[in-house]
Amino acid sequence: MVSQPCLFNILRVANVKVTTEGCGIIDFVGPLTFPEARETVIRKVREARHLPPVEGVELASAAARVLAEDVAADRDSPALARSVRDGFAVRASDLPGELAIIGEVRAGRRFSGEVGHGQAVEIMTGAPIPAGADAVVMVEHVTRHDGRIRFDGTVQPRQFINPRACEASAGETVLHSGKRLDYADIAMLAAFGCPRVKVFRVPEVAILATGDEIVEVQETPAEFQVRNSNAYSLAAQVARAGGVPRLLPVARDNLAHTRALLEEGFRADLLLLSGGVSAGKYDVVEEALAALDAEFYFNRVLIQPGQPLVFGRAREKFFFGLPGNPSSTMVTFEIFARAALEILGGQEEVELHTPFARLTRDFRHRAGLTRFLPARLSADGQSVTPVNWHGSGDIPSLTRANAYLVAEPDRAEYPCGEWIRVLHK
Ligand code: AMP
Ligand code: MG
């Protein structure tokens, strides 16, 4: 197979839809906007996805895993009408007035009698409502004297009562396959008697850093070299997004070495490359991928950081060629590769939350690109301040950020106090 390195560079500028023959297919070449690129990633991965194998896990280790079965409630929740306050179970129509206390009911017990006209039963939070009662008054709101209570207000029927099955009915599906389990889901699975659950196997993600200037973390780099930080930031991001990272050796900027490591990388469920996707003479990643008959869905996105960004498929596996500058690698993982990984892991919902916050100072950028710039979001999430940074290679600035400002491509000026979107880091 003949590889055609220059063709890729020509196509990148030419902005045309082209199918090349014999060296991998580029079926969309124009630069995509951020929403177009994200939509492409989600659509392509969803279309091609085979759900991962299913395994059973103990509930105690199921948090953050993706559920691989629908789960139904095994009983009504609550199974009986329950009090949500400490107080007295009463008949609402008896109040205001004075009532005789005829007994008590606590959580874990049932009251055998019935609350009649002019009567009350002392009740604790979580205890079943006795027959005859239709409301609860709080213990703090009554005066108690000589086996009687007095309450001078009016009471609405059902006050402080959780009716039977108001949360869920027996047999109702309460969790759907494809949900990543959070701690509330774990609580519900426990409440409905699921000591083990079926989850999808965690996808393996190969991480392949490229570059002649890259040395390993434990090495002492010469001044013209940098340590391989991308493989580690990506591994951390992959783990956080529910994947198992597998770090490959650094690929040198030549076709043979890159190609050999690509073969290795395509054994995983997803391949992430860093570096080697710009238009430089030694950026060989696309060429090496094309030589494996890769399909390319895009190779440029109108964002910063991260413009040269390659997404495609080869050997039935998806790959991302992420730009090598550390913040480009981190941002493009979060906004694109993360969604792909989550879908491959069986997760159904892959929303990217970008709420608004108010700028604490004027902000301007050059319109045309969606920008993701390091920022500090206040504790209340209301205001956001850009972090001083020195471009896409500035890792120390990124460590001071807890969010990214998301500046829209059609808007250059944002005055202090204006709303702007943010993405949590
Ligand atoms: P590239 O996208 O290959 O042109 O790389 C752009 C810049 O990103 C390089 O000059 C390096 O300084 C930096 N870089 C590339 N790969 C890595 C890596 N694995 N770890 C840290 N920095 C990197
Ligand atoms: Mg490079």
3-state DSSP call for residue 110?
A: coil
> What residues form DSSP beta bridges with 215?
227
Phi-psi region of 424 (alpha: psi -120 to 50; beta: other; left: phi over 0): beta
3-state DSSP call for residue 11?
A: helix
What residues pack around ion ligand 2 (CB closer than 5 A)? 211, 275-276, 324
Write out residues with Cβ below 6 Å of ligand 1.
209, 211, 214, 226, 228-231, 274-276, 278, 280, 323-326, 393
Return the higher-pLDDT residue of 116 and 17. Answer: 116
> Is residue 19 pLDDT above 50, yes or no?
no
Per the CB < 8 A criterion, the answer to whether 375 and 404 are in contact is yes
pLDDT of residue 30: 83
> Is residue 66 pLDDT above 60, yes or no?
yes
CATH class of 4-52+202-344: alpha beta
Which atom of ligand 1 has the smallest separation from the CA of 283? Answer: 3
Our mutation pick for probing the ligand 1 site, out of 12, 224, 226, counting the most ligand atoms within 8 A of Cβ, is 226
> What residues form DSSP beta bridges with 9?
none
Strand 196-200 with 173-175, pairing: unpaired
Find the 325 Cα to ligand 1 centroid distance in Å. Answer: 5
**Which ligand has the nearest atom to the CA of 282?**
2
Q: Which CATH number applies to 82-162?
A: 2.170.190.11
Q: Which CATH number applies to 356-424?
A: 2.40.340.10
Q: How many CB atoms lie within 10 A of CB 311?
A: 26
Our CA angle for 160, 165, 63, nearest 5°, is 100
Q: Which CATH number applies to 57-76+167-200?
A: 3.90.105.10
Per the CB < 8 A criterion, the answer to whether 332 and 355 are in contact is no
Mean pLDDT of 153-166: 97
Mean pLDDT of 161-181: 98
Q: How confident is the model at residue 35 (pLDDT cuts 50, 70, 90)?
A: very high
Mean pLDDT of 15-30: 46
Q: How confident is the model at residue 264 (pLDDT cuts 50, 70, 90)?
A: very high
Going by the DSSP 8-state scheme, the letter that residue 77 receives in this structure is B
Q: How confident is the model at residue 130 (pLDDT cuts 50, 70, 90)?
A: very high
**What is the residue extent of each domain of the chain?**
4-52+202-344, 57-76+167-200, 82-162, 356-424
Please tell me the distance from the alpha carbon of residue 60 to that of residue 17, in angstroms, as a whole number: 51
Q: Atom 13 in ligand 1: which residue has the minimum CA distance?
A: 325
> What residues form DSSP beta bridges with 280?
none
Mean pLDDT of 233-248: 98
Please tell me the distance from the alpha carbon of residue 257 to that of residue 32, in angstroms, as a whole number: 30
Residue of 355, 353, 342 whose CA lies nearest to 179:
342
Our mutation pick for probing the ligand 1 site, out of 214, 217, 272, counting the most ligand atoms within 8 A of Cβ, is 214
pLDDT of residue 11: 45
> Is residue 23 pLDDT above 80, yes or no?
no
pLDDT of residue 3: 40
Catalogue the long-range contacts made by 312-315 (C-beta closer than 8 Å, 24 or more residues apart). 313/44, 313/48, 314/24, 314/262, 314/266, 314/289, 315/266
265: buried, middle or exposed (CB in 10 Å: 19+, 13-18, 0-12)?
buried
Whether 57-76+167-200 and 356-424 share one fold: the answer is: no
Sheet strands (E) in 213-300: 214-215, 226-227, 244-247, 270-274, 295-298
Q: How confident is the model at residue 411 (pLDDT cuts 50, 70, 90)?
A: very high
Find the 211 Cα to ligand 1 centroid distance in Å. Answer: 7
**Which ligand has the nearest atom to the CA of 328?**
1
> Is residue 333 pLDDT above 60, yes or no?
yes
Please state which of the ranges 27-36, 85-94, 414-423 shows the lowest mean pLDDT.
27-36
Please tell me the distance from the alpha carbon of residue 371 to that of residue 359, in angstroms, as a whole number: 15
> Is residue 206 pLDDT above 90, yes or no?
yes
pLDDT tens track for 75-104: 999 999 999 999 999 999 999 999 999 999
pTM, rounded to two decimals: 0.89
pLDDT of residue 29: 62
Find the 237 Cα to ligand 1 centroid distance in Å. Answer: 17
Our mutation pick for probing the ligand 1 site, out of 247, 272, 299, 325, counting the most ligand atoms within 8 A of Cβ, is 325
Please tell me the distance from the alpha carbon of residue 342 to that of residue 353, in angstroms, as a whole number: 15
Which atom of ligand 1 has the smallest separation from the CA of 229? Answer: 20
Our mutation pick for probing the ligand 1 site, out of 232, 274, 398, counting the most ligand atoms within 8 A of Cβ, is 274
Going by the DSSP 8-state scheme, the letter that residue 93 receives in this structure is G
Mean pLDDT of 176-192: 98
Please tell me the distance from the alpha carbon of residue 226 to that of residue 289, in angstroms, as a whole number: 25
Please state which of the ranges 28-32, 160-164, 221-225, 341-345 shows the lowest mean pLDDT.
28-32
pLDDT tens track for 296-317: 999 999 999 989 999 999 999 9
